[in-house]
């Protein structure tokens, strides 16, 4: 019976590999070996083409060494999470291909017929969707900024008009007290003027109330795995694991797109200017309903007295395209009701470089229950010949 199960497993693997080879989407098959080892069983031509690695080098335990170290660490962690759970694991990642940021959505699942010891990885390009998502966020920030300016102008204009009109109304009322009805109709004209001014004041009050009601609402929030997000960004900015990058292991409830854009921007800048160390710290301001994300490095730091406005102005003066910079992040954070600050260096943490804080409406979520440990590998159901 055990021998028949082994042959059935081999047949299932052959069918799976044939199916993977017939689809032009980056895919690979990974097996859990005795001794808790992970091994590439197969990769298709699409994955070889995207990774720029020959197919012959994408099979076997050593194939993981063909990829950057942080990417391997993250990939192995996600595979083990998939092996330990009952549902597929899906995550986004950003890699540099030909000097350009390329976004991918990877889904890991356990195909039936292998005793839960085999994982199928399917990766789809989402670069276009991510670019549209980020562009939409930037456009919304611009619109929100213009809307705020218009609302402020409307409010100030209404305030400026209400005061003199109220004075005119009071003066007409005083005059009417001393004017008797006469045949030439002057008193009636004054009453009409008083009523007109009174109606104008009513409309101005309604305009001010409407302007107050139009204050931006907090955008919808979602649960964000900040730890995984920071690990993914670290794999992009430091693929070979040359830097020490400390990140929090926590989930937050806030604007996911904004967190992704802002933290990625700050970690990218920190990787450019640090000596060896980057930290991402998380704290909350529960009474005000905010979460704080601080990004610091051990680089040379900023000149004394440097403000965020100084940095954004320098960025605007640079020629050429440099992506979504500090000015864009600051505008985006403000448009979501948050704040973006440059903090003083905290010498106690030996982080002598720049320190930035993003304050966003949201909260830190309670820690989830620890995931169940993956089942111990069973050599009796290992796929023969893989």
pLDDT, tens digit (0-9, with 9 covering 90-100), for 41-69: 899 999 888 888 888 888 876 677 777 78
Residue 321, pLDDT above cutoff 60: no
pLDDT, tens digit (0-9, with 9 covering 90-100), for 97-147: 666 778 888 899 999 888 889 999 999 888 888 778 777 766 766 676 676
pLDDT, position 125: 87
Among the residue ranges 17-21, 349-353, 354-358, 363-367, the one predicted with the least confidence is 349-353
Phi, psi of 239 (to 5 degrees): -60, -30
* CATH C-level class of 2-125: alpha beta
Share above pLDDT 90 across residues of the chain, in percent, rounded to a whole number: 15
Residue 277 CA to residue 196 CA, distance in Å, equals 69
Asked if residues 338 and 360 have their Cβ atoms less than 8 Å apart, the reply is yes
Residue 369 CA to residue 311 CA, distance in Å, equals 42
Residue 22, pLDDT above cutoff 60: yes
Beta bridge partners of 60: 40
Between 40 and 318, name the one with better pLDDT: 40
Cβ-based neighbour number of residue 181 at 10 Å: 9
Tell me the mean pLDDT in the region 163-187. Answer: 72
Residue 204, pLDDT above cutoff 80: no
User: Per-residue DSSP letters for 338-357?
Assistant: -EEEEEPP-GGGT--S-EEE
Asked if residues 176 and 190 have their Cβ atoms less than 8 Å apart, the reply is yes
> Torsion-angle region of residue 192: left (phi > 0), alpha (psi -120 to 50) or beta?
alpha
222-364 CATH = 3.30.565.10
Tell me the mean pLDDT in the region 15-35. Answer: 90
pLDDT, position 122: 93
The highest-confidence range among 47-56, 146-155, 158-167, by mean pLDDT, is 47-56
pLDDT, tens digit (0-9, with 9 covering 90-100), for 220-265: 678 888 988 888 888 888 888 889 999 999 999 988 888 888 888 8
Local confidence band at 152 (pLDDT 50, 70, 90 cut-offs): low
Name the average pLDDT for the chain: 77
pLDDT, position 3: 42
Residue 211 CA to residue 264 CA, distance in Å, equals 35
Strands (E), 59-127: 89-97, 100-109, 118-125
Asked if residues 42 and 28 have their Cβ atoms less than 8 Å apart, the reply is yes
Residue 218, pLDDT above cutoff 60: no
Among the residue ranges 56-60, 65-69, 212-216, 335-339, the one predicted with the least confidence is 212-216
Asked if residues 353 and 298 have their Cβ atoms less than 8 Å apart, the reply is yes
- Spans of all domains in the chain: 2-125, 131-213, 222-364
pLDDT, position 173: 77
Asked if residues 70 and 241 have their Cβ atoms less than 8 Å apart, the reply is yes
Say if 2-125 and 222-364 have the same CATH topology: no
pLDDT, position 301: 83
Q: 300, 308, 304: which is closest to 357 by C-alpha?
A: 308
Beta bridge partners of 105: 92, 124
Asked if residues 16 and 386 have their Cβ atoms less than 8 Å apart, the reply is no
Cβ-based neighbour number of residue 141 at 10 Å: 21
Tell me the mean pLDDT in the region 90-97. Answer: 77
Between 28 and 194, name the one with better pLDDT: 28
Residue 179, pLDDT above cutoff 90: no
Between 154 and 44, name the one with better pLDDT: 44
Residue 7, pLDDT above cutoff 50: no
Residue 280, pLDDT above cutoff 90: yes
Residue 319, pLDDT above cutoff 60: no
What's the CA dihedral at 386, 91, 378, 64 to 10 degrees? 40
Whole-model pTM?
0.60
């Amino acid at each position: 019976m055990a021998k028949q199960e082994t042959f059935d497993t081999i047949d299932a693997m052959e069918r799976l590999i044939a199916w993977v080879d017939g689809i032009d989407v980056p895919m690979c098959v990974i097996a859990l070996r005795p001794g808790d080892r992970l091994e590439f069983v197969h990769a298709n031509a699409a994955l070889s083409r995207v990774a720029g690695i020959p197919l012959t080098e994408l099979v076997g335990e050593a194939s993981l060494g063909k990829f950057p170290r942080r990417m391997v660490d993250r990939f192995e962690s996600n595979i083990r999470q998939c092996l330990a759970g009952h549902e597929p694991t899906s995550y986004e990642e950003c890699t540099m291909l030909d000097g350009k940021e390329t976004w991918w959505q990877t889904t890991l699942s356990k195909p039936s017929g292998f005793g839960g010891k085999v994982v199928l990885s399917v990766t789809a390009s989402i670069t276009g969707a991510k670019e549209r998502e980020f562009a939409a966020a930037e456009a919304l920030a611009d619109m929100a900024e213009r809307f705020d300016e218009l609302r402020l102008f409307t409010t100030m204009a209404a305030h400026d008009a209400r005061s003199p009109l109220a004075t005119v109304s009071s003066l007409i009322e005083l005059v009417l007290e001393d004017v008797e009805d006469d045949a030439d109709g002057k008193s009636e004209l004054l009453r009409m003027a008083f009523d007109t001014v009174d109606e104008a004041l009513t409309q101005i009050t309604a305009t001010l109330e409407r302007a107050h009601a139009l204050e931006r609402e907090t955008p919808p929030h979602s649960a964000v795995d900040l730890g995984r997000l920071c690990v993914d960004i670290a794999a992009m900015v430091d693929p070979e694991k040359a830097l020490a990058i400390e990140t929090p292991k926590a989930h937050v409830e806030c604007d996911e797109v904004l967190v992704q854009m802002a933290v990625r921007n700050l970690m990218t800048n920190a990787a450019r200017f640090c000596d060896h160390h980057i930290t991402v710290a998380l704290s909350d301001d529960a009474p005000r309903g905010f979460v704080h994300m601080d990004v610091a490095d051990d680089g040379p730091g900023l000149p004394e007295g440097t403000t965020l406005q100084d940095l954004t102005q320098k960025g605007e003066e640079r020629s050429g395209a440099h992506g979504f910079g500090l000015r864009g992040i600051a505008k985006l954070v403000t448009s979501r009701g948050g704040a973006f600050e440059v903090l003083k260096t905290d010498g106690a943490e030996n982080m002598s470089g720049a320190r930035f804080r993003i304050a966003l409406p949201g909260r830190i979520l309670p820690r989830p229950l620890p995931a169940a440990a993956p089942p111990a590998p069973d050599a009796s159901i290992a796929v023969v010949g893989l």
